[in-house]
Amino acid sequence: MRRSLLLWFGLVFGTAVTFFLISTDVRRQREELADLHREIYRHQQALHVLKAEWSYLNRPDRLARLIEKHLELTPIDAHHLAPLAAIPPRPRPLAEPTVGLVTGPATTPTTAPTTGAGQ
H or E, element range at 66: helix 60-70
How far is the C-alpha of 66 from the C-alpha of 72, rounded, in Å? 11
Give the contacts of 73 (CB within 8 A, at least 6 positions apart).
67
Amino acid at 60: P
The string of pLDDT tens digits covering residues 87-108 is 888 888 877 666 665 565 655 5
Q: What are phi and psi of 59, to 5 degrees?
A: -65, 135
The string of pLDDT tens digits covering residues 11-58 is 999 999 999 999 999 999 999 999 999 999 999 999 999 999 999 999
